[in-house]
Amino acid sequence: MPILFFLLKTKHPFIFTFFNNNDYNSKIIKINLFLFSFTLYFAINTLFFNDSTMHQIYEDKGSFNFIYQLPQIAYSSLISAVFGIIIKMLSLSQGQVLNFKKNKDNKDLEKKAISLNKQIKIRSIIYFILNSVFLVFFWYYISMFCAIYVNTQLHLIKDTLISFSLSMIYPFGIYLIPGIFRIPCLSSNAKNGNYIYILSRILQMI
C-alpha cells in the first residue's frame, strides 16, 4: 500500500531518521531528535516510578511484574509520543520549505528565501537550547533516582526499552488506518466519501 510506505518513510522514527534522505530536514537534527526521544522515554518512565511502584517491586521480591508495569508503560509511551510530536513541530523545517516552494508568487522571492532561511536558523537555535535544557534536567533526575533507588534500576531500564520498542512497532499498525479509510473513497458509490477522506487525513497527521 503506497500510503503506508509513505507514512512510514516520513513519520516512523527510525526509518525517517536513517532511511529518508530526500526531505528538507537537517540530518543532524533528525539524528538528535531520535537520540533525544530515547532519553525522553527514559525520563518519563522514571517520573512514573512512585511509592506504589516501589512497594509492588518489594511485594514481587524484585522480579519484573509485566502486568503491573503495563499501564505505566502505556501512559509513559503516550506522553512521550505527544511530547515528541511537539518537539518535531518546533525543530523540523520540511513544512516551511514545502510551503515556500508551493508559493507561486515570485515577487520578492529572494527576500522571502532569506527570511525563510533566517526563520529556520532561529527555530534550530531555539530547539538546541531547549534540547540542552531538557537533557540536563533528564540527566540530573535520572541520575539522582538511580543513585537513591538502586534496586529499581533494572525495572526502569526494562520499562524504558519496552515503551521505546513499542514506539518503533505500533506505527506499522497505526499507519494502516488512513489507507483503510481511503479505500471506500475510491468507490464512486460510497456515501460520505468526503468525510471519510477528511478523517483519513486527520489520522495521517498523528
Whole-angstrom distance, CA of residue 93 vs CA of residue 59: 49
pLDDT tens readout for residues 90-133: 888 877 777 777 776 666 777 777 888 888 888 888 889 999 99
Per-residue pLDDT averaged across 177-200, rounded?
A: 59
Of the candidates 165, 175, 169, the residue with the CA atom closest to the CA atom of residue 45: 165
Whole-angstrom distance, CA of residue 11 vs CA of residue 2: 14
Of the candidates 26, 5, 50, the residue with the CA atom closest to the CA atom of residue 131: 26
Of the candidates 71, 48, 46, 23, the residue with the CA atom closest to the CA atom of residue 146: 46
- The pLDDT assigned to 188 comes to 47
pLDDT tens readout for residues 11-69: 788 888 888 888 888 888 899 999 999 999 999 999 888 888 887 887 887 788 888 88
| Higher per-residue pLDDT: 95 or 205 | 95
For the beta carbon of residue 153, count every other beta carbon within 10 angstroms. Answer: 13
Q: What is the pTM of this model?
A: 0.81
The pLDDT mean for the chain works out to 81
